[in-house]
């Protein structure tokens, strides 16, 4: 498997590419790559290239571009935002990692009534690193955005990207019934509560702002599972399944 490394936007405009310090250390020290080996570099915005290493040092790795490719067609046609009520412990790490793998375009950490954690700047930086690493591991051409934390009322009152879906354990209408009714869309926002879910008042407010509550089935899913499952179903409905029908 060809190794993948993330470079800043614009780095692929030149014929020579320099890896950032962290990526250089990983290539030279951890993986022990050598001059002449070929790897893939991508900028997190859809462009990538096959390059050949010309200099390998712990603090600096350089490479020459062998072939460029525009990877954007591999990105999901529907842009899905996952607004996740911040859970305890390291569960948000799992949400970011799995969400990136399935195709989330943007993560919004939500501050809700039942959120017991307000993330520090260091934790936010960690989540962004996890998104970048998960994009590399899954051979995804784009790195999803991880926004600053947002109070839940600001999500309802703002302008969510596309229809707003809220998985809710008290809802009886399944997501499989709801998705086909939405028609063609370019973006969808999924909002998931933290442990214990959204408070009833929060669900009522969401509905008042046009959100659609959906059921994910007869069992109760963990908060770190519910969002990823919903996103996968949305991407299947508006991507793969409809593509297969045409």
Whole-number Å distance between alpha carbons of 214 and 45: 32
Which of the 8 DSSP states describes residue 242? H
Residue spans per domain, the chain? 4-72, 79-245
User: How do the pLDDT tens digits run along the chain, 246 residues long?
Assistant: 788 888 888 888 888 989 988 889 989 999 899 999 898 888 887 788 898 899 999 989 999 988 888 654 455 678 999 999 999 989 999 999 999 999 999 999 999 998 877 899 999 999 999 999 999 888 888 899 999 999 999 998 887 778 999 999 999 999 999 999 988 888 999 999 999 899 999 999 999 999 999 999 999 899 999 999 999 999 999 875 554 554
* Of 104, 99, 98, 40, the residue nearest 76 (C-alpha): 104
Architecture of domain 4-72: Beta Barrel (2.40)
Whole-number Å distance between alpha carbons of 76 and 69: 17
CATH code linked to domain 79-245: 3.40.1280.10
């Amino acid at each position: 498997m060809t190794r993948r490394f993330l470079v800043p936007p614009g780095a692929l405009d030149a014929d020579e590419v320099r890896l950032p310090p962290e990526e250089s250390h990983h290539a030279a020290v951890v993986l022990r790559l050598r001059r002449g080996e070929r790897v893939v570099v991508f900028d997190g915005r859809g462009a990538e290239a096959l390059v050949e290493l010309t200099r390998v040092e712990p603090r600096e790795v350089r490479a020459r571009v062998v072939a460029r490719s525009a990877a954007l067609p591999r990105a999901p046609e529907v842009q899905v935002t996952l607004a996740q009520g911040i859970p305890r412990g390291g569960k948000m790490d799992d949400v970011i990692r799995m969400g990136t793998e399935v195709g989330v375009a943007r993560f919004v950490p939500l501050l809700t009534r039942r959120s017991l954690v307000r993330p520090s700047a260091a934790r936010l930086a960690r989540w962004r690193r996890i998104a970048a690493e998960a994009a590399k591991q899954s051979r995804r051409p784009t790195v999803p955005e991880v926004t600053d934390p947002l109070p839940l009322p600001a999500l309802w009152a703002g302008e969510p990207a596309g229809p707003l879906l809220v998985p809710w354990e008290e809802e009886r209408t399944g997501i499989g019934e709801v998705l086909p009714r939405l028609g063609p869309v370019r973006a969808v926002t999924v909002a998931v509560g933290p442990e214990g879910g959204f408070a009833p008042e929060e669900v009522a407010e969401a509905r008042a702002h046009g959100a659609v509550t959906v059921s994910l089935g007869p069992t109760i899913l963990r908060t770190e599972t519910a969002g990823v499952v919903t996103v996968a179903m949305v991407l299947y409905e508006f991507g793969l399944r409809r593509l297969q029908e045409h």
